[in-house]
Amino acid sequence: MYDLIGTYLANNRYRVVSFIGEGGMAQVYKVWDEQRACYLAMKMMRSDLAMDRVVLRRFHREAETLSRLQHPSIVRFYGMEQDGERVFLLMEYIDGISLAKEIFQTAAPFSEERILTYLRPVCSALHYAHQNGVVHCDIKSANIMIERQGRVCITDFGIARLAESTTTTLAGLGTPGYAAPEQIMGKPPLPQTDIYALGVVLYEMATGGERPFTGEEYKDEMLLINAVNREHLNIPPPSPRKYNPRISPALEAVILRCLEKSPRKRYPDALMLLQALENAIGKPSNSEQLTTSVARLHPAVLRFLIGALAVALLLIAFLIGSILFSPKPTATQPPHLKYTYAAQTVEARFTKLPGWESTRQPSLTPLPPTQPMMQPSPPIANTTADTPEKPPASTLPLPPAGAPTAKVLAAQGIYIRSGPSTAYEVIAGYPQGALLQVIGRNQKSDWLAVLLENGQEGWVFGENVDLSVPVDTLKLILPPPTPTPTPTETIRTATHTPTATQTETEIP
Ligand SMILES: Nc1ncnc2c1ncn2[C@@H]1O[C@H](COP(=O)(O)OP(=O)(O)OP(=O)(O)O)[C@@H](O)[C@H]1O
Ligand SMILES: [Mg+2]
């Protein structure tokens, strides 16, 4: 097996890097793909088997089946190749270990949470495969891989075959210990065949590596494999609580339903199994979660949190008090104080900046109900289906030294618009902390003109940034042509006198 290491296969395309392991019919190597420039797992058929037409067909089937499946929790398949008498499959290399190994190494029952962590992606992948007419037929903990970063995926759809194809019967495929009764009897596999095998995996995780059928009941009479099969067919599975009394009756019921002899009595599909598992394991209520998390905290952290909570409560009390006892707006406000919500907030913020002298008096105009400060329209640069909610990370070069800057304060990041109001289109987005070069302001000083990385001018709402210079030192920039007014904007014209109910969506 080691004589392959360092050699090249398939016209120098694959360099064999190391030996990974061996299964029933193949050896697995890590190879370097010169063309793709990445590591792959190469499943090399044993030389004696490569000459066997039946086994070769099995490999071909694995190739065909895998190529039809693409799911984040299914090991990606890259094709089947032949080099002389060597036949091998190429698949995504998983840097991690099998669940079987993890169960063995843990040597204790898994917590319910950990069981769910593994079962969620596995059920999702199985459901996807079943929906596509593919039954794995060899689900076992050795065929579930856990990547170092935590990704869980199913490998070896090697003996899986298309569920829709019922003309051939491959009795006895699958691994003893996991094979469902119908599989042992040579009946066509069903999605429930995988659910049965997954029941055995669940059993292993919940008991710390025990399996329901080991052949020990019949071992004196026959070959071990036959003994195991006979147990699958004839003996009810022993309760997993026999090995781990801490398993809840609800979890036990889920495991035993997976192991029903009749496929019809098992869960109809992998998602229903997952649902049952989620219900059985249950999530602690929020208050329980909080109690548990708080209980786990270090006393010093706990003291800090209690202190912070007390301060927060005091602040809230102060705020409520100031709202209740603040002077009410009067009808005698001078007209110039009738600014919009946005303008008020901007002023409140900008007046804190050194050197900023407001010519306006703080307005006592009641705030309009819940006018959003930024319209949640997506940036036009990112109009694909998977447009992130948050503006993308900035690649903006740092502004030149000494230039006025605006640092993004909004936790959600900000959108840059083509003009100084939310009536203009979004042309870019920047995350919290991004530093923008400011080149001017609008007349009301509530919007700032900034320079985008492509040299384009954009506008950002002033409240959401921290300006490095007093706003009135900035150059006044005339806004671009007014976009077509929406019905709400038509009430505002150049000669319109601002009213107390106007909002920042108005075009200056
Ligand atoms: N894509 C992969 N990436 C990394 N390691 C893998 C990959 N596929 C399999 N392995 C590892 O290679 C070894 C052999 O795997 P293989 O699938 O041949 O054996 P098995 O699953 O134990 O038995 P079977 O032949 O019944 O599937 C195992 O240790 C497995 O974890
Ligand atoms: Mg395998």
**Ligand 1 contacts CB of residue 428 (under 6 A):** no
- Is residue 453 over pLDDT 80? no
More confident residue, 327 or 168: 327
| pLDDT, tens digit, 9 for 90 and up, residues 146-164 | 999 999 999 987 554 533 3
Q: Residue 82: is its pLDDT beyond 60?
A: yes
For residue 45, give both structure tokens: 């058929």
Pick the CATH number of 96-284 from 3.10.580.10, 1.10.510.10, 3.40.50.2300, 1.10.150.20: 1.10.510.10
pTM greater than 0.75 (yes/no): no
Instruction: Say yes or no to pLDDT of 287 above 60.
Output: no
Please indicate whether residue 25, judged by its CB atom, sits closer than 6 Å to ligand 1.
Answer: yes
Lowest mean pLDDT among 182-186, 202-206, 214-218, 478-482: 478-482
Q: How many other C-beta atoms are found inside a 10 Å radius of the C-beta of residue 9?
A: 20
What are the distances in angstroms from CA 205 to CA 112, 153, 155, 176, 193? 9, 16, 18, 18, 19
Say yes or no: CB of residue 173 within 6 Å of ligand 1. Answer: no
**Residue 336, pLDDT score:** 28
Q: How confident is the model at residue 286 (pLDDT cuts 50, 70, 90)?
A: very low
Work out the average pLDDT over 245-249: 95
User: What is the CATH topology of the domain spanning 1-93?
Assistant: Phosphorylase Kinase; domain 1 (3.30.200)
pLDDT(486) > 50: no
Q: Report whether 489 contacts 506 (CB < 8 A).
A: yes
Of residues 411 and 100, more confidence is placed in 100
467: burial class by Cβ within 10 Å (0-12, 13-18, 19+)?
Answer: buried
Residue 494 CB partners (closer than 8 Å, separation 6+) = none
Q: What is the pLDDT of residue 6?
A: 93
Least confident of 72-81, 173-182, 315-324, 337-346: 337-346
Please identify which residue in the block is written with the tokens 């065929």.
Answer: 143
- The residues spanned by each domain of the chain are 1-93, 96-284, 381-481
pLDDT digits (tens, 9 = 90+) for 107-128: 999 999 999 999 999 999 999 9
Average pLDDT value for the chain: 74
More confident site: 221 or 307? 307
CA dist., res. 35 & res. 229, Å (int): 45
Q: Do domains 1-93 and 96-284 have the same CATH topology?
A: no
pLDDT score for 455: 78
> Ligand 1 pocket check: which of 28, 59, 90, 159 to mutate, most ligand atoms within 8 Å of Cβ?
28
Answer yes or no: is the C-beta of 274 below 6 A from any ligand 1 atom. no
Question: Is the CB of residue 78 less than 8 Å from the CB of residue 158?
Answer: no
The CA 59 to ligand 2 mean position distance, Å, reads 13
Adjacent-strand bridge partners of 422: none
The C-alpha atoms of residue 408 and residue 456 are separated, in whole angstroms, by 18
**pLDDT in the model for residue 357:** 31
Report the CATH superfamily, name and number, of domain 381-481. Answer: SH3 Domains (2.30.30.40)
SS3 assignment, position 442: coil
Q: Which residues are catalytic?
A: 138
